[in-house]
Homo-oligomer: A and B are copies of this chain.
Amino acid sequence: MSDAHGRRSGGRAGRQAMRAAATTHADAYLTRTMKPVEIVGDEGLEIILNNADTILAEVGVEIRGYPSAIERFRDAGCDTDGERVRFPSGLARTLAATAPPSYVQHARNPIHNVTIGGDATVFAPNYGSPFAHDLDNGRRYATLIDFQNFVKLTYTSPHLHHSGGTVCEPVDIPVSKRHLDMVYSHLRYSDKAFMGSVTAGERAADSVELARIGFGGDLADRTVMTSLINASSPLVWDATMLAAAETYASNNQATIITPFILAGAMAPVTAAGVAAQTLAEALAGIAFTQLVRPGSPVILGSFASSMSMQTGAPTFGTPEPAIVLYVLAALARRLNLPFRSGGSLCASKIPDAQAAYESAATLIPTVMAGVNFVLHAAGWLEGGLAIGYEKFILDEDQLGMMAVFARGLDLSDNGQALDAIRENPPGNHYLGSAHTLANFEHAFYRSSTADNSSFEQWTEDGALDAAQRANKVWKRRLAEYEPPPLDEAIDEELLAYIDKRKAELPDEFA
């Protein structure tokens, strides 16, 4: 660890430095060694690509309340008719082609810089929940304290690579001002990479300003934010999202262009239909970022859920969204774009078996398909309405397992262990063999939440379930938390900017 951030020495700072050094043991992001899994051949993918092209040419997209975007599209060769914009065959893809296949998002602490694209997978926490849940207090509206707690838990996590954005909605702060507190929290309580606000163009601009201050006064064209831009599916882009996207792209900050689709409501019920429409919407949005600034970093995003026939509610961890995910990951690779999807999604209200099955059935495809940026990788409950403290801890443990899995098979001589087998007579156990002793400590992933003891021992320990054990983990982590170093002058400048803006802005709660 260099002393780049060590402006104080000894005492608290010393502990901070040790803590920061400790986190360097974890990889800044996950590098997959295996070929991504594709469940459809090239011919099938070509059909989806062509269908997206057909949709953009025949139906097009509606650009609501943002005439300058329509103008940009018209100038680029699109056919416009009021707010409807149609892309002559192949044009959206051509416009999107200036986007980089991968980019580096800089973190305040360079050891946490993340590569987004290619063989890299970056895990970021839950996003957007108005509620928080824990075993002690149940489910209630989330507050800024919850927000900060999750920034802290993510900062101290060896398995989350990115601080995320609106990890939960700090509902106690006016909507018009909370973006300032959120960006400040990411800068103050973490030094991992983070996301900016997207709920208005000027909030995006505030995010850029705060980031500029936080990174020492000059972004120098470095990408330091990756922010989430959602389509209003089907086939609509609205002014709010386009304004935020424009602000970020023009500052060379990254965006995740994401159609958010409940299949059967915002798109047809079929996976191939969802995939084609998602691609059409995303390509239109990506094209927009490239018209604003060619080469600005952008991620092709997909969020697709199935639907309960009984209630019309979104369902998660089901086979259909996994199929959509695999298909779109493969399409993003064909388009040479970084891809965002998946996470640890579930419909369950609590961190029970349903939550875990559903989350695993989303996360494993996420990793196998080669997703590059994984929002909602930890904490998601209740279709995203709540972030759970215990759920966060349980999910995080799974992310750690994914990192080990992604390393694949060790075929070194030590990994092959042929001599160990040669030297061990049949029937003799390996517990005391030199090879076992030399490798045992790091041979297996060590879960932070699983109980592998005997039934008797587990009973003696209180017969706790996984959520109850996770409850202890997050409390200990928050109790032991120490913030990363932040230059005092920078901190003062951030706070001054926020004070100024809060004085200017009205209090709005919706």
Closest Cβ of chain B to A448, distance in Å, is 11
- Which A322-357 residues sit within 8 Å CB-CB of chain B? 322-323, 327, 347-357
Q: Do A444 and B309 touch across chains, with their CB atoms under 8 A apart?
A: yes
- Which A393-452 residues sit within 8 Å CB-CB of chain B? 394, 397-398, 401-402, 404-405, 408-411, 414-418, 420-422, 424-431, 433, 435-436, 439-441, 443-447, 449-452
**Beta-carbon nearest neighbor of A469 in chain B:** B354
Closest Cβ of chain B to A58, distance in Å, is 6
Q: Do A272 and B417 touch across chains, with their CB atoms under 8 A apart?
A: yes
Known: A40-B409, A264-B443, A422-B59. A416 touches B276 (CB 8 A): yes
Chain A interface: which size bin? 35 or more
**Could you show 19 A-B contacts with beta carbons less than 8 Å apart?**
A40-B408, A40-B409, A40-B411, A51-B418, A268-B439, A269-B444, A272-B417, A276-B421, A306-B443, A318-B401, A320-B444, A347-B450, A348-B450, A349-B463, A354-B466, A357-B357, A357-B359, A360-B361, A368-B368
- Give which listed residue, B61, B348, B361, contacts A426 with CB less than 8 A: B61
Q: Which of A131, A397, A417 has the most CB of B within 10 A?
A: A417
Q: Do A315 and B415 touch across chains, with their CB atoms under 8 A apart?
A: no
Q: Do A385 and B272 touch across chains, with their CB atoms under 8 A apart?
A: no
Interface residues in chain A, defined as those with a beta carbon under 8 Å from any beta carbon in chain B: 34, 37, 39-40, 44, 47, 51, 54-55, 58-62, 84, 131, 139, 232, 234-236, 263-273, 276-277, 306-315, 317-320, 322-323, 327, 347-361, 364-365, 368, 382-383, 385-386, 394, 397-398, 401-402, 404-405, 408-411, 414-418, 420-422, 424-431, 433, 435-436, 439-441, 443-447, 449-455, 457-458, 463, 465-467
Q: Which of A59, A264, A453, A458 has the most CB of B within 10 A?
A: A264
- CA of A420 to CA of B58 in the docked complex: distance in angstroms? 13
Known: A276-B421, A319-B402, A394-B353. A139 touches B455 (CB 8 A): yes
- Give which listed residue, B361, B418, B426, contacts A234 with CB less than 8 A: B426
- CA of A486 to CA of B84 in the docked complex: distance in angstroms? 67
Q: Do A427 and B62 touch across chains, with their CB atoms under 8 A apart?
A: yes
Q: Do A447 and B318 touch across chains, with their CB atoms under 8 A apart?
A: yes
How many chain copies does the complex carry?
Answer: 2
- CA of A277 to CA of B359 in the docked complex: distance in angstroms? 34
- CA of A333 to CA of B455 in the docked complex: distance in angstroms? 38
Q: Do B416 and A51 touch across chains, with their CB atoms under 8 A apart?
A: yes
Q: Do B268 and A436 touch across chains, with their CB atoms under 8 A apart?
A: yes
Complex interface: chain B residues within 8 A of A84 (CB): 426
**Beta-carbon nearest neighbor of A323 in chain B:** B409
Q: Do A269 and B452 touch across chains, with their CB atoms under 8 A apart?
A: no
- CA of A422 to CA of B394 in the docked complex: distance in angstroms? 43
Closest Cβ of chain B to A434, distance in Å, is 11
Complex interface: chain B residues within 8 A of A354 (CB): 356, 394, 449-451, 465-466
- Give which listed residue, B364, B368, B440, contacts A264 with CB less than 8 A: B440
CB-CB nearest 6 A-B residue pairs: A273-B417, A360-B360, A356-B356, A268-B417, A235-B426, A319-B405
Closest Cβ of chain B to A85, distance in Å, is 10
Complex interface: chain B residues within 8 A of A310 (CB): 452
- CA of A99 to CA of B326 in the docked complex: distance in angstroms? 35
Q: Do B415 and A234 touch across chains, with their CB atoms under 8 A apart?
A: no
Complex interface: chain B residues within 8 A of A131 (CB): 455
- CA of A401 to CA of B354 in the docked complex: distance in angstroms? 13
Complex interface: chain B residues within 8 A of A47 (CB): 411, 416
**Beta-carbon nearest neighbor of A381 in chain B:** B455
Q: What 19 additional pairs, Cβ within 8 angstroms, besides A62-B426, A264-B443, A353-B465?
A: A47-B416, A51-B418, A54-B422, A55-B422, A234-B429, A263-B444, A270-B443, A273-B417, A273-B421, A277-B421, A313-B452, A318-B447, A319-B445, A322-B405, A323-B409, A352-B352, A352-B467, A356-B360, A386-B455
